[in-house]
Structure 1
Amino acid sequence: MLERIIEALKKGVAKNAAPAAGAEVKRLAAAALMIEAARRDNDFADDERAAITRIVGEHFKLSTDDAEALVDLAEQRQKVPFGETIFTRTVRDSFTPEERKDVLRMMWEVANADGQLHRLEGVMIERLAVEIGLNKADSESARAEVTAKS
């Protein structure tokens, strides 16, 4: 699975365009954006990493090992220069509006995983919402849904 993701991303980066968004690439893009949002407060804690692993596992119906491998790869790829741009473009151009809202909800869930929402995490998620083609109302709605579930 991971080899296909890496190859798809390499092709997309080489063309300086969004990678072909197969299921694996979409999973990686979503996980990478969650990591970016969680790292924004400079405290990417174990509980946030565990939350991302759990969320991608549940949402994408992955085994624990596959979810952990996906998060590992997302962490590595997210550190690449312009990594965030590649992933936001993939989500914006390849996900349906409902899939983009799912990613937004997942980001809010991760940001709340440590029990407190850091201001920079909230700002980052709202900015990412716009970059993936959603608006402030979508972001507020997703945040409210996640808060209500907590």
Structure 2
Amino acid sequence: MSVWSSLKGVVDRVLGGEESAGNLREEELRLAAAALLVHASQIDGEVDPEERKTLKALLKARFALGDEELRKILKEAEAWEHDSVDLYGFTSVLCRELDQEGRQRMVEMLWEIVLADGVLHEFESNLVWRASELLGVSTHDRVRLRKLVESRAG
């Protein structure tokens, strides 16, 4: 499934009035967040079981997803991530839909994914840096969020 057919499916499901537009924006936000987190879980060339477990837990908690909704959003996110050539497609949606606090939460979630296996690969670190820049999250906040996640992990 291509990114365009995934996004077309989203649009087709929620086309309608203003309430539907809100649903579309929420679904687009979920999909962009999930695709960015999927990318983070795969960037080192290996999908670690701890990273996958953390990815699912973060998405379920952040978006109050049930198991079936989670499976669906992950399938769509994986297709979008596979078809993407850069991070802008994901981060532009996140910038549009999230305030600074929400963007910082996304960076925190990225740290949670890349640190889940206990090993920070240079590709993972670079991804969090690039995504933070695109999300407008400062270096100070990016480092603070990393330390926060590391302190919770022990």
1:35-114 aligned within 5 A? 35-82=38-85, 84-114=87-117
The separation in 1 between residues aligned to 2:57 and 2:84, in whole angstroms, is 27
Kindly tell me: are residues 85 and 140 of structure 1, through their superposed partners in 2, closer, same or farther at Cα, counting changes over 3 Å? same
Task: Name the Cα RMSD after superposition.
Answer: 2.2
Identify the residue that residue 120 of structure 1 maps to in structure 2.
123
- Please, which runs of 5 or more residues in structure 2 have no aligned partner? 1-5, 13-21
Structure 1 unpaired stretches of 5+: 12-19
Runs of 4 or more consecutive aligned structure 1 residues displaced over 3 Å after TM superposition: 8-11
Counterpart in the other structure of 1:138: 141
Aligned to 2:7: 6
How big is the shift at 1:83?
A: 5.8
Aligned 8 A contact 1:32 1:84 in 2:
no
Percent of counterpart pairs with the same letter?
25
Do the aligned residues in 1 keep the contact of 2:103 with 2:135 (CA within 8 Å)? yes
**In the superposition, relative to structure 1, how do residues 10 and 44 fare at CA in structure 2: closer, same or farther (>3 Å)?**
farther
Count of aligned residue pairs for this structure pair: 138
CA drift of 1:7 comes to 2.8
Choose 1 or 2 for highest CA Rg.
2
Q: Distance in 2 between matches of 1:64 and 1:83?
A: 29
Distance 1:46 1:69, change over 3 A: farther
1-side partners of 2:9 and 2:96: how far apart?
15
